[in-house]
Amino acid sequence: MIGSVRPQVDGGRYAAKATVGRDVVVRADVFVDGHDRVGAMLRWQADGESWRDVPMEPLGNDRWGASFMPERPGLHRFKVTGWVDAFATWHSELVRRLAAGEDLAVELQVGATLVASAAKRASGQDRTRLKEWAARLADAAPDEQAELATAEGLTALMARWPDRARNAATSGGSPIWVDRERAASSAWYELFPRSASPVPGRHGTLHDVAALVPSLAELGFDVLYLPPIHPIGRTARKGPNNAPISSADDVGSPWAIGSEDGGHTVVHPDLGTVDDVELLVEELGTHGMELALDVAFQCSPDHPWVSEHPDWFRHRPDGSIRYAENPPKRYEDVYPLNFETDDWRSLWDALLGVVTFWMGRGVRIFRVDNPHTKPFAFWEWLIDKVRAIDPGVLFLSEAFTRPRVMEHLAKIGFTQSYTYFAWRTDPEALRDYLTELTTAPLVDYLRPSLWPNTPDILTEELQRGGAAAFRARFLLAATLGANYGIYGPAFEHVEHEPREAGSEEYLHSEKYEVRWRDLTSAAGMRELIRRVNATRHAHPALQQDASLTFHRTDNPMILAYSKRDARSGDVVLVVVGMDHRYPQSGWTDLEMPALGLAWESPFTVVDDLDGSTYTWRGPRNFVRLDPTHAPGHLFHIEPPGLAGATA
């Protein structure tokens, strides 16, 4: 019997997620009735390639494990095969007979037959050696019986040539989608290009954005994300602070896409041209960064599709087109698309054409606006089509919606997912939520991207907590998650004023206005960002989520957690103060095995935020955190014996 196979999503209906160059750890229960011993093999393949075999090792309690490392992006599959291992069964019984002092002559004859059969399956030098072993077992003298019964060399040799025919079983093929490295670990920076001008009062351009790239790279970001860069409609254009009436000078919302200048494959004339997008992609590439563009499948009333394809939109009984609503919010400047139109095939093809158009300009990352408001079947189709062209294209799902909907979008192919991280402010709630995200089943298919703020989300914690809250939430996002992002300019400048009490909308929101900021005024936050991102790049432990472990403290306002990279042994330990007003102190209760350390061993922790070094011993260690000084400690752990100065 084979069961409880992992990683597997809905019994293999959807693909689990993996990353090029990282081990895919496979686990399965393999067992049989009675007392026979079993063997197990992991079989895996990249799509279109031959199957490769990896022996599985027993983990105890009928659980078996093995791993493989995919070498390229794309679809992969694996199976688990199990069988009754006649030789292992014989050998275990032989050892017991030896301990009981029984005559082994007959049993050695049985073993000789098993080994002779293995010799027929073997090749090369192994075949010769197995034939020799079969002869020794068949003709064993009494004084050789004990030696032959416990020979480790024979056991290892037989394990290489098992007889898989007896009571063999194979699990169903389990699909795994393998992404490139950036899918698993990335730091995103969001900005509005129209606010990127170095000159107050001038509309920013894509050339201005390109000029900012070196500074963003120096801060350690991997992805620059731009909200929609397309022409903005004039009809029902929103004014400042989402006012329903605008003046001729108001720039409107970038998500009201389309005007007489064009639609989703055109750049707003004030920003530049499509060629400027390609130049920005090139500039980012020279700094090891990538461009992410917003995919917002909706239209302003002035979009060319409204007149060319009126049936792609929903109509009221009076014939007018229905604008977008999310009561009590009204978006009179946006028309949703009607995915139930009779002409749905043409609509789907047009939307796929938008994505492939920008792919043709070098864009390989897309942040998708409100995917939960479009059919699942559409996204599954579109992502499959895009992957057939370029399996390295990544999609971030901006779906702040019900958990099962968010999870299903991840199952059908979205590479990364926004989460509820911004609203998990209670230490216990945050710990429970991140544990859920980083353990089975979610860890097998949903890659969380943690954002403390977005242009739509200014939480009450950030509104009230001051700069200390911004620092703490940044440290949490960038270390709890291998993927995270910030709405950068607003975050760096600690912008915290809501449009009105009880709102999560920013006052003077950049969604409706051009904003200019003095970058030099954000020096303190930028230095924290630079240090944390440098640590993320330097430590593999922070580039994955599966090893996240929370550690107990005797103060509930101190959150402690670690990550450990199994391959390198790299360990990072983070201690964060959850009180943004007052200093907090307490004792840790570390799970030392999670750090790769013995329970009472000494070890050195180096704080990458300020360079301080401490020598600790065992699980209990004292910490004191002052929110006016630093949000917490970002320790990397040096191996025992490399202890530096004690602080």
Which of 276, 369, 444, 607 is an active site residue? 369
Last residue of a domain, one of 134, 160, 178: 178
Among residues 610, 573, 601, the alpha carbon closest in space to that of 588 is found at 573
Which of 208, 222, 250, 398 is an active site residue? 398
Could you tell me if residue 293 is inside a domain?
Answer: no
CA distance 381 to 377: 6
What count of Cα atoms within 13 Å lies in the side-chain half-sphere of residue 533? 22
Find the CATH number of the domain harbouring 596.
Answer: 2.60.40.1180
Task: List the alpha helices (DSSP H) in 365-487.
Answer: 376-389, 403-411, 427-437, 460-480
Last residue of a domain, one of 150, 178, 206: 178
Question: DSSP letters along 69-101, please?
Answer: ---SSEEEEEEEEEEE-HHHHHHHHHHHHHHTT
Residue pLDDT, tens place only, 457-497 = 999 999 999 999 999 999 999 999 999 999 999 999 999 99
CA quadruple 465, 471, 474, 480: dihedral sign: negative
Could you tell me if residue 113 is inside a domain?
Answer: yes
Could you tell me if residue 264 is inside a domain?
Answer: no
Which residues are bridge partners to 68 per DSSP?
24
Find the CATH number of the domain harbouring 109.
Answer: 2.60.40.10
Residue 383 CB neighbour total at 10 angstroms: 21
What count of Cα atoms within 13 Å lies in the side-chain half-sphere of residue 21? 9
Mean pLDDT of 421-435: 98
Contacts for 386 with CB less than 8 Å, ≥ 6 apart? 352, 355, 356, 359, 393
369 given a catalytic annotation: yes
Among residues 423, 422, 427, the alpha carbon closest in space to that of 586 is found at 427
Domain count, the chain: 2
Could you tell me if residue 553 is inside a domain?
Answer: yes
Could you tell me if residue 436 is inside a domain?
Answer: no
pLDDT at 389 over 70: yes
Which residues are bridge partners to 573 per DSSP?
562, 635
Mean pLDDT of 245-269: 97
Could you tell me if residue 319 is inside a domain?
Answer: no
Contacts for 345 with CB less than 8 Å, ≥ 6 apart? none
Last residue of a domain, one of 146, 178, 210: 178
545 given a catalytic annotation: no
Among residues 264, 266, 237, 262, the alpha carbon closest in space to that of 249 is found at 237
Which residues are bridge partners to 225 per DSSP?
190, 292
Could you tell me if residue 145 is inside a domain?
Answer: yes
Among residues 188, 211, 183, 220, the alpha carbon closest in space to that of 533 is found at 220
Residue pLDDT, tens place only, 131-188 = 998 998 888 887 787 787 678 889 889 989 999 888 888 998 999 999 999 999 999 9
Q: Domain residues for 605? A: 542-638
CA quadruple 261, 265, 271, 272: dihedral sign: negative
Residue pLDDT, tens place only, 84-120 = 999 999 999 988 888 888 888 888 889 999 999 999 9
Q: Are 13 and 174 in contact (CB under 8 A)?
A: no
Question: What is the reported pLDDT for 147?
Answer: 83
Could you tell me if residue 372 is inside a domain?
Answer: no
Tell me, what amino acid is at 65? G
CA distance 234 to 220: 38
